[in-house]
Amino acid sequence: KNEVEQSPQNLTAQEGEFITINCSYSVGISALHWLQQHPGGGIVSLFMLSSGKKKHGRLIATINIQEKHSSLHITASHPRDSAVYICAVPPSNAGGTSYGKLTFGQGTILTVHP
């Protein structure tokens, strides 16, 4: 079973700061999810990436398959970015139905102060 570790567990920042959240996993995978959980509990999928880097607005996700590590960056952070950020990985042999059989990190609680 894949072990997924996120760091830090809690992160407090001032508005405008550059944020980095890290995710490491123990078993090689084909792709990795970054999810955002709002204070009310709803979850939004931010990225699914299998190599390199993806960018969406102020969010950037990178992955290094060889090092089994991914990072989520937020540029020019804003109080509305306050949420729990979760990385999740499918089984190493993911395909078809097993793709949703995710192992989740414990989440990083981000608080951005104005």
Cite the DSSP H helix spans in the chain: none
Under rule CB under 8 A, residue 65 binds other proteins: no
Report how far Cα 50 is from the mean position of its chain's Cα atoms.
13
Q: In this structure, are residues 21 and 108 in contact, taking their beta carbons and an 8 Å threshold?
A: yes
Under rule CB under 8 A, residue 11 binds other proteins: no
Q: Smallest Cα–Cα separation from 32: which of 81, 1, 72?
A: 72
Instruction: Find the shortest distance in angstroms from Cβ 17 to other proteins.
Output: 26
Which member of 9, 43, 55, 64 binds other proteins (CB under 8 A)? 43
**Residue 72 CB: number of other CB atoms within 10 A?**
24
Under rule CB under 8 A, residue 39 binds other proteins: no
Under rule CB under 8 A, residue 48 binds other proteins: yes
Helix (H) or strand (E) holding 86: strand 83-89
Which member of 12, 14, 45, 75 binds other proteins (CB under 8 A)? 45
Q: In this structure, are residues 4 and 107 in contact, taking their beta carbons and an 8 Å threshold?
A: no
Which member of 41, 66, 80, 93 binds other proteins (CB under 8 A)? 41
CB under 8 A: which stretch of 10-18, 19-27, 75-83, 91-99 binds other proteins? 91-99
- Residues binding other proteins (CB under 8 A): 31, 33, 35, 41-45, 48, 86, 88, 96-97, 99-102, 104-107
